[in-house]
Amino acid sequence: MTAPRSRPADNSWVQGAVDHALASGYQAHTATLRGVVRQRLVTRALLAHLPTPPGRILDVGGGEGTQGRTLARLGYEVTICDPDPAMLRRAEEQLSDADAAVRDRITLVRGDGHDAGSLVGGGWDGVLCHGVLMYLPDPAALLHVLAEVTAAGGVISVVGKNASALALRAGLQGRWHDTLSLLDEEPHTAAPTVAEIGNLGVPSRADDPRQIQDLLVAAGAEPRAWYGIRVLTDHLGDTPPGPDLDTVLEAEWRAGERDPYRQVARLYHLIHQRRPLDPW
């Protein structure tokens, strides 16, 4: 692991206590049906857009490495860059059970994604940033870094919380007061983001996927696809995956790739492709 780096001053929103809650809550979440749906749908979309392995993948905020290990098993060389030592420790623990070949294809780097250019350099075939923007006060700077470190023609994959449909989970769970507050907060007009206390008990923001797309276009990346994640299962709390998992995944996938369903998914998954740099 490389040496710890300090975060930018404006990133104080996510600090030690939040990191700790995230690290301990996130591992439990990953095993639930909602967690499995999220990771499996993301992998399916990635494999439709990434170049075939081998290729160099940077996972910014890759956390405990769930997606990174899957890609490394498929033959990609994966670098996970994450500021949270607890998350990286879990990633290391999980890797101790993996095949030596998979372990060799994963590098863990401790550091803030805003510093990715100096920490891990550029020219990546794929740059992932999944479930990170919601913990930042403003997504624009990190989106610029993602585009900067991606090779021309490379893929940028961003997963975040969808601000357009925050009330849906509360409504389907029968939490009617929460539903009304969230409906009041939704950004029907110009407001870019909405904050709420998420499932992991830490404050997190949501964004309108169209605004994230616009920011990525401004950073030099063309939109290729937009998927919704957890249209049909988001209200199921900590329900574990059941024997019908494959059918659930297929239903979620088909709903998440089309309108109007993807518009009300809990999470958006955007795929962009880095434009070639302008000639001098």
In the complex, minimum distance from the CB of residue 33 to ligand SAM, in angstroms, rounded to a whole number: 15
- The rounded distance, in Å, linking the Cα atoms of 120 and 58 is 9
Beta strands 203-207; 193-197: pairing state: antiparallel
**Per CB under 6 A, which region of 81-89, 97-105, 148-156, 260-268 contacts ligand SAM?**
81-89
Strand arrangement, sheet containing 150-161 = 106-110, 77-82, 56-60, 124-130, 150-161, 267-274, 221-229
Binding flag, residue 212, ligand SAM (CB under 6 A): no
**Per CB under 6 A, which region of 19-27, 97-105, 216-224, 271-279 contacts ligand SAM?**
19-27
In the complex, minimum distance from the CB of residue 71 to ligand SAM, in angstroms, rounded to a whole number: 12
Q: Which two tokens stand for residue 58?
A: 């940077």
The residue type at 197? I
Binding flag, residue 112, ligand SAM (CB under 6 A): yes
Binder of ligand SAM out of 106, 109, 119, 135 (CB under 6 A): 135
Binding flag, residue 11, ligand SAM (CB under 6 A): yes
- When the beta carbons of 71 and 132 are compared against ligand SAM, the nearer one is 132
In the complex, minimum distance from the CB of residue 177 to ligand SAM, in angstroms, rounded to a whole number: 26
Binder of ligand SAM out of 95, 132, 166, 270 (CB under 6 A): 132
Beta strands 77-82; 106-110: pairing state: parallel
In the complex, minimum distance from the CB of residue 90 to ligand SAM, in angstroms, rounded to a whole number: 9
Residues numbered 156 to 175 that lie near ligand SAM (CB under 6 A) are none
Residues numbered 51 to 70 that lie near ligand SAM (CB under 6 A) are 60-63, 66-67
Binder of ligand SAM out of 105, 130, 144, 161 (CB under 6 A): 130
Binder of ligand SAM out of 45, 55, 57, 131 (CB under 6 A): 131
In the complex, minimum distance from the CB of residue 161 to ligand SAM, in angstroms, rounded to a whole number: 10
In the complex, minimum distance from the CB of residue 241 to ligand SAM, in angstroms, rounded to a whole number: 16
- The rounded distance, in Å, linking the Cα atoms of 129 and 272 is 12
Binding flag, residue 87, ligand SAM (CB under 6 A): yes
Residues that bind ligand SAM (CB under 6 A): 11, 14, 19, 22, 26, 60-63, 66-67, 82-84, 87, 112-114, 130-132, 135-136
